Every structure is written in C-alpha cells, then in structure tokens.
Amino acid sequence: MPPSGNTLSSLLTILAVRLLFVGPLGVLAQYTDAVCESSFSWMENSKNQNPCSVAAYLGGACIAGTWSVYRLSQPGNYYYGPSASGQNTCECSSVTYNTLSACSLCQNGTIINWSKWNFNCSTVYPGVFTPGIPSGTAVPQWALQDVTTSDLFNVTLAQSTGDNPELTATRAQSTNSLTGTSTVGSVSFTAQPQSPATSAPAPGSSSPGSGLGTSAIIGGVVGGVVGFLLIVGAIALCVMKRKPTETPPPKYQPTSPTSPIAVYTDDPTAGPPDVEK
C-alpha cells in the first residue's frame, strides 16, 4: 500500500530537517551562503574561495555530515566558538578561528578574542590543522597567523602576509613565524551568527558549566561551617544576655524582596555558549 499524501509529506519534512542540521549521512560536505564585500577579495585563495568557504571545508574535516557557515544576519554580528559537547580537533585550531574571523570581517561583522573562541576546548592547536587540509580547498598563508599572544585576529597583518604559499591536501605545513594554534568545530558547531558580547572571560574565571576545583569546593564547605558556627554562637550569646520580658516579641512578618532575584540564562550572546557559550 503506497504511503498517503500526509505520510509522504511528514517523511519529506523529517528528511529536510535531518539534512539541515547534520547533512547527508556518511558524506563529508561543506556549505556557506556568506558573501564577502569586493574590498576583501584579497582574502580569497587560488581557487577563488572566500574565507567563509575555506572555514566550511576545515570544519567539515572532523565530521560525517555538512558543516555550514551561514551569512551574518546584520553588520556587527560575529561567529561564536565551539560548545563543550561539540568541540573537536578541527574547531579548536587557530586556523579555523582565523578563517572564520576573516569571514565575519568581510561581511562587516566583528570578531571575538581567541581565548573566548577556545573557551570550551579541552586542547587547542595553535597554528596547525592536525586533521590535514581537506581536498578541494587551499588555506591561505595569512590563516596561519599567530594569535596566542595578541589574542585577536589581525586583519592588517593578514593582508600584508598575503595568500601564498598556501596549504593544500598535498602540500605539508611548515613552521614559521606566523604559526599560531586554533580550534576547529564539530557537527554541533555551524558557525551561527550571534551578536557580540561585551567582553571575553578573564583567565581563570569560571563560567556556568565550567565547574569548580576540588580545593575551591573544600574551602567553600569549611568556610560555610565556620560561618554557621559563628552565627549560632552570636545568637546564643544574645539570648543569654537578654532580660526576660512579659511582652512576647512580635511575630516575623515575611516580606517580598525589593528587587527581583537574578536568573541565569544560557544565552550565547551573554558569554561563551555552553559553557554550553
């Protein structure tokens, strides 16, 4: 019995959603609809691919599916880094960070710091792309820029460095003064455009989902116990010194707080996703 019209429509919808988020099963692919302004044509490689297309190739090297780089919805937006659950060798490479930063700038977007980009990476790879350059693309020399010290992609330095010599699937990477380390993304990272956050997290600071160290937990417990004992002692001392009175103290009347309690929201525009931000 052939499927009904409604059943066929549902199956096509499910297939479309599947292709949108993870791409064809078992196929390495890349996609971008981002278009750079003509003044940034110097960012293109020898294959006439803009940095958005190159970034899509690099991201797709670590997944079985389509790795997409979508155009920024408006000027001033940027691409955020990988999530804690989605980070991988590709996303945690500075080569990917540099190409996506260039992709954002050529659309009149802004960029985030390297330290904020790799916030969720367990290991970072400065100036190298360990999975190997995928066939079908070529990585410009400017994408190897060292961002470990400056903590930010330098577009002026990139333009002066230029495209050659490029890295390809057949041309091995050599170490030079421009080499840096970066992070590349996984299937969960589609380089969705996001509005810029106010600042990158300070080194050593914690973020929702980042966890606390053992010493911090022990210190918190000990401090809490000591504080509790001090409060109990102060209350007992007050009760002992208090004179008896015939009039019972007034009952406590609960009141509403004068200001609302702050609520954490897992918004990628407010900080690194997941940490996922």
pLDDT in tens, 54-111: 999 999 999 877 789 999 999 999 999 999 998 999 999 999 999 999 999 999 999 9
- The per-residue pLDDT for range 173-198, each reduced to its tens digit, is 554 333 333 333 333 334 445 544 43
Q: Which residue did the predictor score with more confidence, 160 or 232?
A: 160
8 Å CB contact between 180 and 94: yes
Short-list 144, 168, 148, CA closest to 158: 144
Q: What is the pTM of this model?
A: 0.57
Q: Is the pLDDT of residue 214 over 60?
A: no
Is the distance from CB of 52 to CB of 36 less than 8 angstroms?
yes
Lowest mean pLDDT among 28-32, 80-84, 90-94, 210-214: 210-214
Of the candidates 153, 166, 126, the one whose C-alpha atom is nearest the C-alpha of residue 44 is 166
Query: Is it the case that residue 143 has pLDDT exceeding 70?
Result: yes
Distance CA 143, CA 155 (A): 10
Asked whether the beta carbons of 95 and 64 are under 8 A apart, the reply is: no
Question: What is the number of helices (H) and of strands (E) in the chain?
Answer: 6, 6
